[in-house]
Amino acid sequence: MNLHQLTAHELHGLLKNKEVSAVEVANDVYSRIDAVEDKVKSFVTLTEEIALQTALKVDEQIKNGEAISPLAGIPVVIKDNMCTRGVKTTCSSKMLENFVPPYDAFVVNRLAEAGAVMLGKANMDEFAMGSSTENSRFFATKNPWDISTVPGGSSGGSAASVAADQTIYSLGSDTGGSIRQPASFCGVVGLKPTYGLVSRFGLVAFASSLDQIGPFTKDVRDNALVMNAIAGHDSMDSTSAKVEIPDYTSYLTGDIKGMKVGIPKEYFAEGMDPQVREVIQDAIKRFEELGAICEEMSLPHTEYALPVYYIIAPAEASSNLARYDGVRYTYRAEGAEDLIDMYKKTRAEGFGSEVKRRIMLGTYALSSGYYDAYYLKALKVRTLIKQDFDRAFEKYDILLSPTAPTTAFKFGEKADDPLQMYLSDVCTLSVNLAGIPGLSIPCGFANGLPVGLQIMGKHFDEGTLFRAAYAFEQSTDFHKQKPRL
Amino acid sequence: MSETNKFDFEIVIGLEVHSELHTNTKIFCNCTTEFGGDPNTHVCDVCLGLPGVLPVLNKKVVDYAIKAGLALNCKIAEFSKFDRKNYYYPDLSKNYQTSQFDLPIAEDGYVDITVDGVNKRIGVTRLHMEEDAGKLVHSGATISSSSSSFVDYNRVGVPLIEIVSEPDMRSVDEAIAYFEKLKSYLEYTEVSDCKMEQGSIRCDCNISLRPWGQKEFGTRTELKNMNSFKALRRAMEYEIERQAEILRDGGRIIQETRTWDESKGVTLSLRGKEEAHDYRYFPEPDLVPIIISQDWIEGIRQSMPELPDARKQRLVDTYGLPEYDAAVITSSKALAEYFDECLKYFSDAKVISNWVMGELLKHLNASERSIAECPISPEKLSDLLKLLDKGTISGKIAKTVFEEMYETGKDAETIVKEKGLVQISDESAIAEIVDRVVTANPQSVDDYKAGKERAIGFLVGQVMKETKGKANPGVVNKLLVERLNQ
């Protein structure tokens, strides 16, 4: 049995019935990692010792007849921007190459309580800035479907590891599409939850008002299960919402008859791959066949999402990343003459070019004399974008769009053209700006590569997203297809 | 103020006061705010700004800021928020300070001061909350001349309020009076312990001069690094003279930040307008806005203690104290409480006030002690005043006893008994000594009879000397006059 190919809910059944042990599962997945990691390169750090210890503990519980949680003994991979106590957390940056946090992120804590088996830390674009994982200071992660193409980003390692069956599920973070776009490129399920639903405590901040942690899974049910474990209020995060957390699996009914679905026409603009368009249109047809009422509609301020995002996110980043200065736990450049020189050399050497670009963009946007024209204006337009969605959700239960305008692109294809790279997130940025949830599910193939369908919903209405996604998934088998590695 | 009138320019002063709030824990984490402690022992992941940590606002800080705002007659904002003030310096663990920019918690208040009997209202522009920075210890004199520096983050995240005044002060005395009043408000409301020497209250000063009659303000300089009232006064006086000299010579003042050099007694340029930081303020995305309900404000208003002005008025109205006495006694909360305590044991408020303002403050100042460290309790002082009131001891002796009490901490009665200081009021005993003194000093008797009334003072002194000061001065005076007029 290829345990590594299974989902969490499938493995849970096997573990509960003592058909397999958690140690067997962990060993099987590590064998898979050994077999394909050279090609995919998902991991910055592997934590085999911790994983086997946890697995043993879970096996002990099962042996003793104790009830185990749905994620107990199930392998997971954590993006390397979530703090793990005693385990390096690098953000794929030279700056934090040797940073070992003395504490766990909230989500890591929650998963540990659930008995999750942490296999390792996933590669990413440096400080989560990028859309291809080419900006990792260590190495690029490959798309398991075609290793000459990128896995997307910034959570490329998290997405690729799930697609390559190097883990059962993983956690990523999404500031402008960093979960959904790589989920789309790698053919897995990826959720960016509502802002405030999952605590950001211990997530190394990129843009605080946009960052959210979410799961990558092999199917929708697993995604709902992981959300059951990580969603909920955290007193350590002031922006964490106090909302009732439902059992998300209760939404997996398969029934979407009468669901009102909006198709925002702005998401089908120029620059979209015609084959991707076709796949998305087929998916919409499938929704209609399942009884949903689909209708073209408009989110008029969509075109401003990109410029607004590239003012707000870098502005916050320029401040969030100021603490990496060589004084405390970071990389420190050698041979500095004085304090200012130390700052300059440390940051020049410690950060890669995309991070520096965004720090400069953000610093500029916040500078006196430019603040009103850039940052303040961007905040106002952000409100307009939010209002577009508020209005849409008065009428529609969900909105459907492509997750990305193209399938995975080749290495180097956009690396030298930041604007082209930024455009690959054009379908996902608005969701972060509005703070609403967005889910990407596999919905077909174009050019032999996976295509993702983005489902957008109301604030804290993840349940409806899961309902819609599950109904679609049940009537298709895209999620069951595996890359040949 | 008469001095100002003589001066050839009008002085314009505004103050920015930073005060640490006396909460148990820091503004965004649970670390203690206690002063001292080995370097980097009062710290945690949050105040050290480790990657991924988030701030959580201490509600007590908001309570205290509201309290201070109400004491300064400010309007409390229903909607307020935090912003990030971005600048690089190693004493900041995040290289930004979480502060408040355009929506401070309190605005538009005032403080009333009295200088040379003249009342004046000083505007308070705003009061906002922020976090304190850490401390740097350089191997050399300054950061640029040091080969290494150590950073102590114990103070990082200690809550501060910054209180900005209007440029309403027109003399150094007014500025000092304003600062003293502000300090007493913060002490009365117990939001800060206001220990200047520990840096828990700090004052920056904006100063400019303008020709009399001119409406526009002159170019100002900002003074920093004054660590005592004395330093504040000296720095302002120096800076006023420095600016005046430049203006008299037809020069122009440069807008800049200047630092007070205590050892040299001068202000030195720190940075010019061009080098001023661009703080790139923007709303703190890790914190939610602060919404303050009327109920919250009312709750705090109800819990407010009596403030200096009200207390002063109470002393005037209830005990008939002169305005000046009442102002001195209420200038510090601890002193006012000492006074009130005395009244529990002794009913003559004016006598208490004379002794508190006289002997007590004189001794405290001379020994550089605060009222909290006073070795004479209110009860013991009252006992002394009772002995005086009953005529057991004379006023002169009482001062001697007071001194002894201050030195030894003994009570008045013990000292009086031990040293045999009981006053002699027995007329026959005193008459005998009067006889002797009159006989021994014929010259003074002649002087007196020739109309030099002052001569009686000398004779009284001689009688007191004979009795080692124990004779009742009233009786001595009466008997002497009778004897000389025979």
CB B336 within 8 A of CB B366: no
Of A201, A226, A243, which closes a domain?
A243
Distance CA B478, CA B382 (A): 29
Is A79 tagged catalytic? yes
Which is higher by pLDDT, A120 or B471? A120
| Residues A143 and A31 both lie in one domain | yes
What was the pLDDT predicted at A477? 96
DSSP assigned state of A203: B
> Out of A21, A93, A132, A154, which one is annotated catalytic?
A154
Structural domains of chain B in order of their starting residue, each with its CATH number: 2-300 (no CATH), 306-419 (no CATH), 427-484 (1.10.10.410)
Q: Is residue A459 part of a domain?
A: no
Select from A82, A325, A375 the residue whose CB has the most chain B CBs within 10 Å, as the one to mutate to test that interface. Answer: A325
> What long-range pairs does B186-189 form, CB within 8 A, spacing at least 24?
B186/B19, B186/B68, B186/B71, B187/B332, B187/B333, B187/B334, B188/B71, B188/B305, B188/B306, B188/B307, B188/B308, B188/B333, B189/B64, B189/B67, B189/B68, B189/B71, B189/B304, B189/B305, B189/B307
Task: Say whether pLDDT at A159 is over 60.
Answer: yes
**Tens of each residue's pLDDT in chain B, 486 residues:** 444 456 899 999 999 999 999 999 999 999 999 988 999 999 999 999 999 999 999 999 999 999 999 999 999 999 999 999 999 999 999 999 999 999 999 999 999 999 998 999 999 999 999 999 999 988 887 777 778 889 999 999 999 999 999 999 999 999 999 999 999 999 999 999 888 878 889 999 999 999 999 999 999 999 998 988 999 999 999 999 999 999 999 999 999 999 999 999 999 998 887 777 899 999 999 999 999 999 999 999 999 998 988 999 999 999 999 988 998 899 888 899 999 999 999 989 999 999 999 899 999 888 888 888 888 999 999 998 988 888 788 788 888 889 889 988 888 888 888 877 777 878 888 888 888 888 888 888 888 888 887 788 888 888 888 888 788 888 888 888 888 887
What was the pLDDT predicted at A42? 98
What was the pLDDT predicted at B469? 79
CB contacts of A96 in chain B (<8 Å) are 51
| Residues A201 and A349 both lie in one domain | no
| Residues A202 and A333 both lie in one domain | no
Asked if the Cβ–Cβ distance from B52 to A343 is below 8 Å, we say no
pTM: 0.89
Region for A445 from its dihedrals, namely left if φ exceeds 0, alpha if ψ lies in -120 to 50, beta otherwise: beta
Distance CA B241, CA B261 (A): 16
Which stretches of chain A sit within 8 Å of chain B by CB? 81-83, 89, 91, 96, 99, 101-103, 105, 200-205, 207-209, 235-239, 315-316, 318-319, 322-325, 327-329, 338-339, 343, 363, 366-368, 371, 375
CB contacts of A367 in chain B (<8 Å) are 278, 280
| Residues A338 and A229 both lie in one domain | no
| Residues A23 and A111 both lie in one domain | yes
Q: How many domains does chain A have?
A: 2
What was the pLDDT predicted at A423? 85
Select from B58, B137, B153, B282 the residue whose CB has the most chain A CBs within 10 Å, as the one to mutate to test that interface. Answer: B282
Task: Say whether pLDDT at A280 is over 50.
Answer: yes
Residue type, B468: K
Of A226, A243, A260, which closes a domain?
A243
What is the rounded (10 degree) CA torsion for B162, B167, B172, B175?
A: -40
% chain A with pLDDT above 90? 95
CB contacts of A236 in chain B (<8 Å) are 54, 56
Q: Is residue A407 part of a domain?
A: no
Displacement of CA B264 from its chain's centroid (Å): 25
Asked if the Cβ–Cβ distance from A322 to B280 is below 8 Å, we say no
Distance CA A381, CA B333 (A): 52
| Residues A233 and A349 both lie in one domain | no
| Residues A84 and A197 both lie in one domain | yes
| Residues A171 and A49 both lie in one domain | yes
CB contacts of A237 in chain B (<8 Å) are 54, 56
Of A371, A398, A416, which closes a domain?
A371
**The token pair that represents B103 in the structure block:** 């929506």
**Predicted ipTM?**
0.95
| Residues A207 and A66 both lie in one domain | yes
Digit-coded pLDDT (tens) for A402-419: 999 999 999 999 988 888
Domain that holds residue A168: 3-243
Q: What is the CATH number of the domain that holds A66?
A: 3.90.1300.10
Asked if the Cβ–Cβ distance from A209 to B48 is below 8 Å, we say no
Q: Is residue A233 part of a domain?
A: yes
| Residues A29 and A117 both lie in one domain | yes
What was the pLDDT predicted at A1? 65
Q: Is residue A252 part of a domain?
A: no
| Residues A122 and A37 both lie in one domain | yes
CB A425 within 8 A of CB A176: yes
Q: Is residue A184 part of a domain?
A: yes
Pick from B48, B55, B94: which is nearest to A238 by CB? Answer: B55
Which is higher by pLDDT, B426 or A121? A121
Q: Is residue A296 part of a domain?
A: no
Is A154 tagged catalytic? yes
Q: Is residue A465 part of a domain?
A: no
Of B204, B225, B203, B199, nearest to B35 by C-alpha is B199
Asked if the Cβ–Cβ distance from A101 to B52 is below 8 Å, we say yes
Q: Is residue A281 part of a domain?
A: no
